[in-house]
Amino acid sequence: MRSIKVWVVCAAVVLIAITSYGSIPHVLYGKRIAGQVVDAGTGQPINGAHVAFLWESDITPHSFTAHNSRTICYHAAAAVTNEQGYFEIAPWREWSTYGVEPVDPVALVYVRGYTPRQIAVGDRSTDRPTNHVDQRYALKKFEGTVGERIEGIFQTVVRRDCRYGKDSQKSLYPMMKAVHGEARQIASSEIHRSTVSTIALIAAKAAIALDPTGAGDDEAVRAFIESNLK
More confidently predicted of 126 and 27: 27
The residue count of the chain comes to 230
Reading phi first (left if > 0) and then psi (alpha if -120 to 50, else beta), residue 168 is in alpha
Backbone angles phi, psi at 137, to 5 degrees: -110, 115
The residue among 199, 202, 222 whose CA lies nearest residue 212 is 202
Predicted confidence (pLDDT) per residue in 14-59, tens digit = 333 433 345 688 889 999 999 999 999 999 999 999 999 999 988 8
Report the Cα 122 to chain-centroid distance in Å.
16
E strands in 24-116: 26-30, 33-39, 50-58, 71-80, 86-89, 92-96, 106-110
Stretch 103-113: mean pLDDT: 96
Annotated domain spans of the chain: 26-228
Class of the domain covering 26-228: mainly beta
Q: What angle do CA 56, 59, 64 make, to 5 degrees?
A: 145
Query: Cα(40)–Cα(50) distance, rounded to whole angstroms?
Result: 16
Confidence of residue 124 (pLDDT cuts 50, 70, 90): low
The residue among 85, 104, 98 whose CA lies nearest residue 47 is 85
| pLDDT exceeds cutoff 80 at 67 | no
The reported pTM is 0.85
Confidence of residue 126 (pLDDT cuts 50, 70, 90): low
Query: Cα(157)–Cα(203) distance, rounded to whole angstroms?
Result: 11
Stretch 124-145: mean pLDDT: 87
Query: Cα(13)–Cα(21) distance, rounded to whole angstroms?
Result: 12
Q: Specify the pLDDT at position 229.
A: 95
Alpha helix stretches (DSSP H) within the chain: 2-20, 146-153, 173-186, 190-207, 218-228
